[in-house]
Amino acid sequence: MATEFLDRISKPGQDFLGVRRPFLCGAMTWISDPGLVAAVSNAGGFASLAGGNMPADLLKKQVRETKEMTDRPFGVNLITVAPAYRDHLEVVCDLEVPYIVFAGSFPRKTEVQIAKGCGAKVLCFASTKSIADRMLEYGADALILEGMEAGGHVGRVTLTILLQQVLFEVSDVPVFVAGGIATGRMCAHLFLMGAAGVQFGTLFAVAKESCAHPRFKQAFIRARARDAVSTPAFDSRLSVVPVRALRNSSTGDFARLQLDLMEQLDAGEITSEESQLKVEEFWVGRLRDAAIDGDITLGSMMAGQSVGLVNEELPVKEIIDRLAADTEAELRRVRGVL
């Protein structure tokens, strides 16, 4: 269908990303592989490879594979706290990746400048206003506002607040938004608020082209919004980074682990360093267990609250076409009201 109003209102995002539809597929470790990224790019959207904790040689291989599968723009998401992070940054610069997305923690100003010096456009996540301000000071070419409704590692501020604190105030760089979004109708209003584009994770995790295990996808399709819960943090002595995922046996096991560690700390039976190591060890490998091996009981089922709006497995092209059609329809409805 013709998307006159969507094309007009999303032009800043189109121009920045070099795509027809500024609908972004968020980088998901183990899921955002060359197949999914290329499918999104070929359908007119934008996607990023998930650097995650993979070896640098594997990231290099995936970038090359993606370039063979699509001639359209795509990015690479770099986790700043990953063991091979600096090697990843070198890889994406050497291979002239056009878009670099920094995630996981704050990139240093020098790292942002290194990426820009390679000719890449830099996008940085912001989960608070102060982080947004810092990333702009560092030279980010665009921001991705991510509310706590999102899946995976999240901040503590809702997208509703971030829209008012950052989106309404920033006009000199494109601002993309993410967290709890799964419909074109919602996208229409975000574009009207000034968003340059909208990012989705959970919606694309269950796409036909997603390599996620069938049991993983079906768990998403069956889930309700309230099933996607954030990791509980019981004690400041245990540095627990909030992670939103579907509630399963591992959720309760992790809570019990924290309670046990707190008792051991109180009794002087364990050091802070030892307790922190046990916290970090608990989740090692569990995301792969869920996404790739289909262990939906003990694996980490990272999902946003938008999981309650995801109810079928569709091809990437159909997902993007539906988003575009529904966005256009809502923009036309609003025009009629006004």
Instruction: Say yes or no: 234 and 126 in one domain.
Output: no
Domain count, the chain: 2
Instruction: Say yes or no: 313 and 166 in one domain.
Output: yes
- For residue 172, is it within any domain? yes
Give dist(CA 211, CA 293) in Å, integer: 11
Give dist(CA 285, CA 103) in Å, integer: 20
Instruction: Say yes or no: 180 and 238 in one domain.
Output: no
Give dist(CA 139, CA 161) in Å, integer: 23
pLDDT at 219 (0 to 100): 98
- For residue 43, is it within any domain? yes
- For residue 27, is it within any domain? yes
Instruction: Say yes or no: 330 and 292 in one domain.
Output: no
Instruction: Say yes or no: 200 and 324 in one domain.
Output: yes
Contact 136, 144 (CB under 8 A): no
Instruction: Say yes or no: 130 and 149 in one domain.
Output: yes
Supply 274's token pair: 């030892």
Instruction: Say yes or no: 52 and 161 in one domain.
Output: yes
333 contacts: CB under 8 Å, gap ≥ 6:
none
Instruction: Say yes or no: 241 and 294 in one domain.
Output: yes
| Amino acid (1-letter code) at residue 298 | L
- For residue 237, is it within any domain? yes
Contact 179, 159 (CB under 8 A): yes
Q: What is the mean pLDDT of each run of 10 residues along the chain (338 residues)?
A: 94 98 97 98 98 95 98 97 94 97 93 97 97 97 97 94 98 97 98 98 98 98 97 87 93 93 94 88 92 97 97 98 98 97
Instruction: Say yes or no: 135 and 273 in one domain.
Output: no
Q: Burial of 293 by CB count in 10 Å (0-12 exposed, 13-18 middle, 19+ buried)?
A: middle
Instruction: Say yes or no: 229 and 257 in one domain.
Output: yes
Residues 272-308 pLDDT 10s: 889 988 988 898 899 999 999 999 999 999 999 999 9
Question: Any idea what the CATH number is for the domain that residue 206 is in?
Answer: 3.20.20.70
Instruction: Say yes or no: 69 and 123 in one domain.
Output: yes
264 contacts: CB under 8 Å, gap ≥ 6:
270, 275
- For residue 219, is it within any domain? no
* Domain span at 267: 224-302
pLDDT at 284 (0 to 100): 84
Instruction: Say yes or no: 38 and 106 in one domain.
Output: yes
- For residue 218, is it within any domain? no
- For residue 99, is it within any domain? yes
- Asked whether the whole model's pTM tops 0.85, one would answer yes
- For residue 95, is it within any domain? yes
pLDDT at 276 (0 to 100): 85
Cα dihedral 176, 146, 163, 12 in deg (nearest 10): 0
